[in-house]
Structure 1
Amino acid sequence: MIQLTSKNISLSSLAHLSAVTQTIMQGASFEDQVQKAKSKWNNKGSGLGQGAFADIKKTLLEMCVGVEICAYCEQNEATDIEHIFPKRLYPEKAFSWENYIFACSKCNTHHKSDKFKIFDPKNSVIETDITPKRGTFTKPPTEDSLFINQRIEDPMDFFELDLVNQQFIFTEKHPPGTRNYLKAKFTKEVLGLNTRATLIESRKKAVMFYISRLEKFVKASATTTHEELSNSINDDWKSVDHAKDFVQEKTRILSSIKKDILEYSHPTVWKELIRQRANLPKTNNLLLQAPEALTW
């Protein structure tokens, strides 16, 4: 998981969200507010909401990691507008732009759903499970969430991927019992980041993909002729046009390789290869030869 680069939606879309929120908060009780939020959400794309949510979906797609990739698992297609703070617990945030990310249906519905923990009292290290039970409506005492909010927090500050030991699982960066440790632990557990075998295997394959592409980039960067450039990439679908200017073709190939890396799934793997390069000799050697890749 990585922090998302937030973008702005139109002022008219923000105004629509604000108007719906005001209606929700007119509920006489917390239960009324939750029910209003649910009803409004089920009809969010109708009437005046049609344009607003077309804008919201378009912007969330632009914010996705990779090409329309789920912000949580970084593997499946992002199809759902996910509430970071569940609308079942925080109806006032059901129509809040800052509370949205794009996730796959498996992460959104099967794993996270309404599972939520908070620190109570606020700013403490005492965790409280506030996952709602059927038929109950209790207003949470705080918004001090254990779940990492990718709109404002960088998950890489809380945990890291075990690449050195080739386990490809997330481990907490901070000492047990600390707030940051508890946030990392809850987030990875509720999303099943270490228990879904397909994710672990895909991270392993992503390491091989990124290193392979980085090798091609390094080799292509060192070429001086069309033939050398063609041999360096060894990819028919990126075949070098010998009739075109060499510098232009080399630039095109290097840009294409960079694009491959930036649009591939599991971008956390790429960022961890860079962060952990001092303990990964092969990766470090390649990055020494292509230092520009450190800022991708």
Structure 2
Amino acid sequence: MTILVTGAAGFIGFHLSQYLLEKQLDVIGIDNLNDYYDPGLKQSRLERLESYQNFVFQKADLKNKAEIDAIFDCYQPTHVINLAAQAGVRYSIENPDAYVDSNLIGFINILEACRHYPVAHLLYASSSSVYGGNQVIPFSTRHNVDHPVSLYAATKKSNELMAHTYSHLYGIPTTGLRFFTVYGPWGRPDMAYFSFTRDILAGNSIKVFNHGRMERDFTYIDDIVEGIYRLINKPPLAIENWDESKDDFSTSFAPYKIYNIGNNNPVPLMRFINALETALGIEAKKVYMDMQPGDVLRTYADVSDLERDINFKPKTSIEAGIEKFVQWYQEYYQ
């Protein structure tokens, strides 16, 4: 098995690649090492991965079709895990073009490569943001997701539609993974828990949006990685005589499946902040703000099909996960 991981120097891509390498699997990592956030952090992740003999890195941008095709032609991956994307809800409001380039053009190039250099399974990152304006909780893969509230969410929903098309036309088994607020060591500096930690340690105030009246299904990185790993050798099967009037929307007459990977336990924003304060031993100075455009009040993952299919459910508590993050943060940034 040779696994190609896009976004290998990113947060989830780094952790997944390291996990696969420790399982003695061959990993081909792709990343463009862009400057959306501190490239030094990406470089530090990459240096750790390059210490493994079974890791090969290729600096490439997914929107460059010729580069991607050349990598597939050279390494002939058996499995592909597409984690490269332009992330961030608020950034998508300010810089929509970046999301079209990375999340749409980049993904079609991956699909085309999987078409011309057939793989046993393509797994790709979707997002809990696709649930958008949905009110029924917990969010289920059986629910309609046609009401996004950010362009980022719209591109992730588009990825699911594009993957389905290629599963149907070319028989490529595809699995979309709707991640719910992933956090942990080596995380993204643009995420709230990261910037909160930085500001609390510096004695600066933190902005608490919607006056703290929000909930997030925070999911610790190790749980995300374990879920992905268990799904690698579980390519979806086409369902004969699939009927939209009674069958699950996350399945299909094509070899296609969608899963939520979330903690199944929404955490109030104030509990999350309290966990940070406890781990740091510092009380945060708080400035209470109104809701931001593109945000949602609550995320809450139904993971019943994940439990059914791979006997797995994320379980790390916010207090345990935040403590591990703070330990890493203080060590990395001294």
Q: Provide the TM-score with structure 2 as the length reference.
A: 0.25
Q: Which has the higher strand share?
A: 2
Structure whose alpha-carbon radius of gyration is higher? 1
Q: Which has the higher helix share?
A: 1
